Amino acid sequence: MPDKPLHLALALDGAGWHPAAWRDLPGPPGELLRARHWARLVTEAERGLLDFVTFEDALGLQSSLADGPDGRGDQVRGRLDAVLLATRLAPLTSRIGLVPTATTTHTEPFHVAIGIASLDHVSGGRAGWRPQISGRSTEAAHFGRKTLPELRPDALDAFRGHVEELFAEADEAVEVARRLWDSWEDDAEIRDVVTGRFVDRDKLHHIDFDGRFFSVRGPSITPRSPQGQPVVAALAHDVLPYEFAARGADVVFVTPHDATQARSIVAQVREAESVTGRRGDPLRILADLVVFLDPEPGAADARKARLDDFDGAEFASDALVFTGTPAELAALLLEWRAAGIDGYRLRPGAVPYDLGGVTRGLVPELQRADAFRIRYDAVTLRGLLRLPRPANRYAAPAEGAR
């Protein structure tokens, strides 16, 4: 039996994932905070037939420190709100999925749920959400609702209890959002001018959620969206976030550095699904890699080295940093697929160079290996990921299904 085609996504963040990438942009750096910069990136990703793009976000300025500002003025600082940006870009695209990051700490799940549902309506069923916790004390200080200790890399064991609490809160936030997305049945809107009935009130439901962190009555103010439930994706590096993803996500991003580690992480994710009693489809496991690409051997290494010189330090990441040709990257991705990886979320080291390296270099290599689509074959993000449209938990079963 032939292997299933790979899923391929792109993680977008400013000028790229290298902190000095903005110094190598072909246009003015001021473009980073303009919609047309992002429009060029997303339309290029769609030209490459990618499943979806993600947009980074946080509740504090970018920093090279674990917690708080670093005082540097030579790196990109400032970003656009990810959910609003994705909504702005949705009408400019037609098939690619749009997955913004929105934090579950310091924010209300009601607001996040209606924002992501609105994105799903605007995009015609291509929305997702990457929930993310916020454990930094400086970000907590923006809101004044809770106090967190300083996050220090040399004292992570002391912070573990706070992390567990933040993930417990995130669990509830995702559950609230999912219930709100179901609080309107698919046919709740009647829109009958003759009878004067716009909505069937019996098909709007209070969710009556009462948890440790949130108490939400519902229903949502936004009707059920085209996908029923937008796709939820989570980045995970350890058992606790693997279990968080298993409980509430559809897709998990992981960060192996070789095929052996990829195989081990896949096993840990599947174990998390078993421990949490996950039902329905298994998680789609996508591996993250930071990529610097050039068809000329050695050119990607040289470009990365130049950026490292600009920044004054060698670039490192939680994910594997790959430098090489698109053909070499394709070989690596196919090797990891044998370890159980379903696809990849690639983080371009610098745009537009490495974005083009993915869409115009890597994608043709994978297509020649019969490992990636040659055309879009679905109109929703769930369709691209081969995920079923979920049934509404509040709707009465159809007569024939009783």
Confidence of residue 340 (pLDDT cuts 50, 70, 90): very high
Average of per-residue pLDDT values in the chain? 94
> So what's the pLDDT on residue 2?
53
Q: Please tell me the distance from the alpha carbon of residue 133 to that of residue 44, in angstroms, as a whole number.
A: 30
* Tokens 């072909």, located at residue: 26
pLDDT digits (tens, 9 = 90+) for 92-149: 999 999 999 999 999 999 999 999 999 999 999 999 999 999 989 999 899 988 888 8
C-alpha 234/C-alpha 307 separation (Å) is 29
pLDDT tier at 402 (50, 70, 90 boundaries)? very low
Sole residue written with tokens 């279990």: 243
Check pLDDT > 60 for residue 1: no
Q: What is the pTM of this model?
A: 0.95
Q: Average pLDDT, stretch 195-221?
A: 96
pLDDT in tens, 343-393: 999 999 999 999 999 999 999 999 999 999 999 999 999 999 999 999 999
CATH number for region 7-135+230-392: 3.20.20.30
Asked if residue 349 lies in contact with residue 16, where contact means CB atoms within 8 angstroms, the answer is yes
Q: What percent of the chain has pLDDT over 70?
A: 98
Longest alpha-carbon distance in the chain: 70
pLDDT band at 266 (very low <50, low <70, confident <90, very high): very high
Q: Is residue 83 pLDDT above 70, yes or no? A: yes
CA Rg, the chain, in Å?
Answer: 21
Report helix angle 109-123 to 156-182, nearest 10. 60
Please give the structure tokens belonging to residue 140.
């907590």
